[in-house]
Structure 1
């Protein structure tokens, strides 16, 4: 697997673990429907939350959340619709983005954007 894929998977795990420390309940990860994928699915305060994780080693080329374009959003929504159907979910949902940033010293920081799109 390419280094950037390894970094992405590690970022997803780090973000999921970080969200658990914030009171979120882990539900699923890497849910696929056709070409669409949801990185992490969590529950929090009665909501089912579909989370796109973006990793960046620095912000020189922009912030992680800027890389979730309209095509990616449509794919995540499509997969979420299928997940909701398969799991017979009847409560509210939300779409979040979590940016995972590693600085030059190896420190990892997070930026969480709740209700980022729909």
Structure 2
């Protein structure tokens, strides 16, 4: 597996553990539908949350939320629609972005963008 794929998987695990520590319930990771993938599917306060995780080793090239473009959002929404239908979910949903930032010293920080798009 390529190094960037390893970093992506580790970032998803870190984000999932961080969200769980904030009271979120983990449902599924890496849900795929056609060409789309949802990194994390969580539940919190009766809301199903589809989470896109982005890793950054700094902010010199931009913030996590800037790397979820229109096409990526549309793919995630399409996959979420399929998931909702398959699970027969009739309650609220939300799309979040979690940025995982690691500095030169190895310190990890998180930035959570709730209801980032739809």
Q: What TM-score, normalized by structure 1, do the two folds share?
A: 0.99
Summarize the alignment of residues 30-41 of structure 1 with structure 2, pairs less than 5 Å apart: 30-41=30-41
State the secondary structure of the residue aligned to 1:39.
strand
Q: How many residues align?
A: 118
Deviation at 1:60, TM superposition (A): 0.8
Alpha-carbon offset, residue 102 of structure 1? 0.3
**Residue matched to 1:44:** 44
1:10 to partner: Cα distance: 0.2
- Runs of 4+ displaced beyond 3 Å: none
The 5 Å alignment of 1:80-99 reads 80-99=80-99
Q: Distance in 1 between matches of 2:3 and 2:108?
A: 17
Please show how residues 103-114 of structure 1 align to structure 2 within 5 Å: 103-114=103-114
Structure 2: gaps spanning 5 or more residues: none
Please give the alpha-carbon distance, in whole angstroms, between the structure 1 residues aligned to 2:40 and 2:18.
12
CA distance in 1, matches of 2:70, 2:49: 18
SS of the residue aligned with 1:4?
helix
Q: CA deviation at 1:78?
A: 0.2
Secondary structure of 1:89's counterpart equals coil
Aligned residue for 1:117? 117
Partner in structure 2 of residue 10 of structure 1:
10
Question: Secondary structure of the equivalent of 1:7?
Answer: helix
Once residues 65 and 107 of structure 1 are traced to their aligned partners in structure 2, the CA distance between those partners, rounded to angstroms, is: 20
Instruction: Say if 2:61 is the partner of 1:58.
Output: no
Once residues 96 and 37 of structure 1 are traced to their aligned partners in structure 2, the CA distance between those partners, rounded to angstroms, is 14
